[in-house]
Amino acid sequence: MAKITRKPAPRKASVPKKEAKAIVAKPKAPARKSLKATRPKSIKPWTPAEIHEVFSRFRKANPEPKGELEHVNPFTLLVAVVLSAQATDAGVNKATRALFEIADTPQKMLDLGEERLREYIKTIGLYRTKARNVIALSAKVLSEFGGEVPRTRAEIESLPGAGRKTANVVLNMAFGEHTMAVDTHVFRVGNRTGLAPGKTPLEVELGLEKVIPAEFMLHAHHWLILHGRYTCLARKPRCEVCLINDLCRWPEKSV
């Protein structure tokens, strides 16, 4: 039998290894500026002497500032403040003048009833919800507080429709407590002037309470509200007539 001889398979041509890629050093990224360097410089804090001067000027210009919500007793004040949420004082006063002539106590308000109350306050925003809250708070004042507006912040805040600002206004105006009610005007003034910067109304409230001397605290929130309402306006502040324009820290003031 003939011997079969197999030819060896031809070797594959060796493939040269890929040349190593040249290592190119990447240029270093520019050093990142520190956060401290990029942040704007903070507003220079007010000195105690400057703060005393500010409120001395407010006191001299308006020794006995009054809140603009019309009321005849602590209960009607409480109701007026609850109604003033997201509404103007002028609008609330227009609605409550006739209302308070017939319902100036919790019992009279309950006797009036929610449906009739709505008719008196229907020109005020959210009047249906507010009418429900006023009737509910009247019932609670009668059942839990003997018909008298309570005199602590926690108790007032427990009433339907009443929050911290409402409690602070009532405690200050009805009972002479040294509280700081922060509405949109006080919040703006506290931040814009640098008196008490804060991201929330509570931060501004606590900041103002910390820096304002006790001798001014009874009227301080009225002065700040009036200043924000008539001088330190939201869109176009009247810096040219501002009592404190030389002390104000606002970098965009026009004087």
3-46 pLDDT, tens digit each: 444 445 545 444 444 444 444 444 444 444 332 333 335 678 89
**Tokens standing for 83?**
């109604």
- In Å, how far from its chain's centre is CA 40? 23
The mean predicted confidence, pLDDT, of the chain is 87
169 sits in which H/E element: helix 164-175
Known catalytic residues are 165, 183
Question: CA 191 to CA 186: how far, in whole Å?
Answer: 8
User: Which residues, given as ranges, of the chain have pLDDT below 50?
Assistant: 1-7, 10, 12-40
Identify the pLDDT of residue 254: 83
* Residues comprising the chain, all counted: 255
Question: CA 86 to CA 107: how far, in whole Å?
Answer: 26
What's the predicted TM-score (pTM) here? 0.80
Identify the pLDDT of residue 11: 53
Identify the pLDDT of residue 164: 96
172-194 pLDDT, tens digit each: 999 999 999 999 999 999 999 99
